[in-house]
Amino acid sequence: MALAQDAVWFITGCSTGFGRSLAQAVLARGQRVVATAKDVARVANLDGASDRLLPLALDVTDLAQITAAVEAARERFGRIDVLVNNAGYGYQASIEEGEEAEIRAQFDANVFGLFALTRSVLPMMRAQGGGHVVNITSVAGLVGFPGSGYYAASKHAVEGWSDSLAAEGAPLGIRVTCIEPGPFRTDWAGRSLRQTPVGIEAYQATAGQRLESTRSVSGRQAGDPERAAAAIVALADEADPPRHMVLGAWGIDQVTDRLRRRLHEIEARREAAVATDFPD
C-alpha cells in the first residue's frame, strides 16, 4: 500500500548527496519532510520554506540534539512514517595503519549515532502502529574491500543490527530496509572522505591502490543520486518492502559474486560443519 499523501519522512544528512536528493524527491511528491544536517542553513531552503518542510540542526553523535530533533518532529507533524538514516561518511586506511581516533569517530557517526536516533524514533512508530526504517549502508556493508576495513565494519554492524530490528519490528508493523549503494556521484569520495595515507610499502598494492582509485573517481561515478532517490521513494510505497536493495550495476555485480562464492564455500564444508554437533 502506498504511503499516505501526508506521510512524514525524517531524513538525516540532507546537506548534500543522497539525503538532499531524497528530501527534494519526497517534497516534490507532496509529502512532509524533517530534513536534518549539522548546519541547518544547508537545508533551510530545500523547498522554499514550505510548510511541509521542517529543517533542523542535527549531529547524530549528539544525544541531546537527537532528543530535541525527534521532539520537534513530533510537535510539528505528530508522527514519523519513514526514518532514513543517511548521515555518515567514509574513512579509509590499511587495517594496520588505522588511527584510533578516526576509527572511533567513524563508529560514532555511522553506527552509534544511527542506533541512538532509531531508538528515539521507535516509540513513536510503535505507538502509531507502524513505520519504515531505511538505513543507507553500502556495498561495503556486504563486501569488505582493501583500504575500507573500518568503514566496512561500521556498515556490517548496521546490517546485522538491521536484521534484529526487522525481526523485532515486524509484528509491530515496523519494516526495515538497508540501501546498499555502490559508487555514486556524491561527496562521499570527495569532501566527506577521510583517509590515513598508506605508508607501509607492503600495503601499497592493496589498500594504497584502493585509496588512490577512490579519490580519482570522485565526481565521475556511474551512480546518479536523483535516480537513487526515486528508487527509494518507490520502495517506501511497497506494501512489503525488501530487507535489502543494492544500488548500481557495479554494486549488484560485486554483491552477487561475493554471495555466490560465500554460499559455495559454506556448502562445500557442510559435512564437516554438521559433524561438530553432538551425536543424536
CA distances to 3, 9, 160, 170 from 176, in Å: 15, 14, 12, 8
Longest dimension (CA), the chain: 69
Do 145 and 193 touch, CB atoms closer than 8 A?
no
Q: Is 151 known to be catalytic?
A: yes
Residue 47 CA to residue 28 CA, distance in Å, equals: 8
Cell of 160: 546485522
Residue of 91, 150, 151, 203 marked active site: 151
CA distances to 85, 128, 173, 257 from 18, in Å: 11, 27, 26, 26
DSSP state of 171: G
Candidates 83, 34, 37, 77; CA nearest to 54 is 34
Do 23 and 46 touch, CB atoms closer than 8 A?
yes
Residue type, 101: A
Catalytic residues: 151
